[in-house]
Amino acid sequence: MKIRELANTGIELSCVGLGEMPLSLSTRPDEAQAISVVRAAVDAGMTWIDTADVYCADHRDIGHGERLVTTALKAMGDSGKDIVVATKGGLERPGGNWTVNGHPDHLHSACTASLRSLETDCITWYQLHATDPKVDFTESIGALARLQDEGKIQHVGLSNVGVEEIQAAMEIVNVVSVQNRCNPFDRDSFNSGVVAYCTREKIAFLPHSPVGGHKGHIRTSEDSVLCAVGARHGISPYQVCIAWLLALSPMMLPIPGASRIESALSSAAAAATSLTQRDMEDLARAFPTV
């Protein structure tokens, strides 16, 4: 699989990573199947996995995704040792709901718990999951900077942010990535200038839900333009979404989720597709990004 650098860190990653979330929510597969999905993704060339402490069923299950990834990679032996794991903190799951908590105390305790779940002394890549309207944004970022100074995290990323938040964070800590929802139907990060900013500043952009997200799969599968482009290459409309994102910026690192081996293999295979000028023109008319 093609390799792209994580910002200017020297860390080389497969251009497509595995989104772990579907393996840990209440609709998750059993552990054996989940581990087989992780193994299939790695065997197909994915060298990194995106998870979070709140990828779980509810507050009693915090850290499920991190523990699952740790178990899966350990079971793989040498082939799992060099896989980069990105995780996130800043949300909570009371009763299965999703709530924001960007207070420095929470981020510190969440990171400490993630270290235990990942069985490591330092997390390679830690992301603020969302901005907390009840907490000054710079206080949340300051907490991440302190965690970095303490040697608990190596690199800092952001999620669900705009250009102003990225710029404010960069005044405090080096930001290596931004993770926002982004696909042909959800193009806010293009329209708001986030993708252009990340491309210009060489910050990795991680489009989550790159094929439409759980509720957008049907829309993607039935779109006439995505289907037509896919037919020209003998690939699915989901794979077209991934190839399209990769073609739009060298800083793109899509993280399609998977709960089945077939989905992981399909996403990995999409990285090999080179869209033509005609493809990109057709997609630009259907899904303008400016």
Residue ranges per structural domain of the chain:
3-217+251-260
CA-to-CA dists, residue 204 to 80, 159, 226, angstroms = 23, 11, 25
Instruction: State the Cα–Cα distance between residues 31 and 23, nearest whole angstrom.
Output: 8
Q: Which residues pair with 247 in a beta bridge?
A: none
Distance of alpha carbon 86 from alpha carbon 19, whole angstroms = 10
Which candidate, 11, 143, 103, 123, places its Cα nearest to that of 63? 123
The parts of the chain modelled with pLDDT lower than 70 are 214-215
Helix (H) or strand (E) holding 86: strand 84-89
- Which 3 state secondary structure label does DSSP give 121? coil
Helices (H) and strands (E) in the chain — how many of each? 13, 11
What does CATH list as the number for 3-217+251-260? Answer: 3.20.20.100
Residue 238 near residue 223, CB atoms below 8 Å: no
Tens of pLDDT, residue by residue over 156-193, are 999 999 999 999 999 999 999 999 999 999 999 999 99
Give Dmax over CA atoms of the chain in angstroms: 52
Burial of 25 (0-12, 13-18, 19+ CB in 10 A): buried
* Interatomic CA distance for residues 71 and 34, integer angstroms: 10
How many residues are given for the chain?
A: 290
Rounded Cα–Cα distance for residues 170 and 33 (Å):
40
Would you state the pLDDT for residue 214? 66
Q: Residue 89 belongs to what H/E stretch?
A: strand 84-89
Strand pairing report for 18-19 and 153-159: unpaired
pLDDT at 217: 79
β-bridge mates for residue 100, sequence order? 91
Give every CB contact of residue 242 below 8 A, 6+ residues apart in sequence.
16, 210, 211, 254, 256, 267, 270, 271, 273
pTM: 0.96
Amino acid at 259: S
Helix spans in 125-257 (H): 137-149, 163-170, 188-191, 194-201, 217-222, 224-233, 237-248
Burial letters 145-166, b for 16+ CB under 10 A, else e = bbbbeeebbebbbbbbbbbebb
The Cα 173–Cα 213 span in angstroms is 30
Question: Which helix H or strand E contains 75, and what residues bound it?
Answer: helix 64-75
50 DSSP β-pair partners: 19, 86
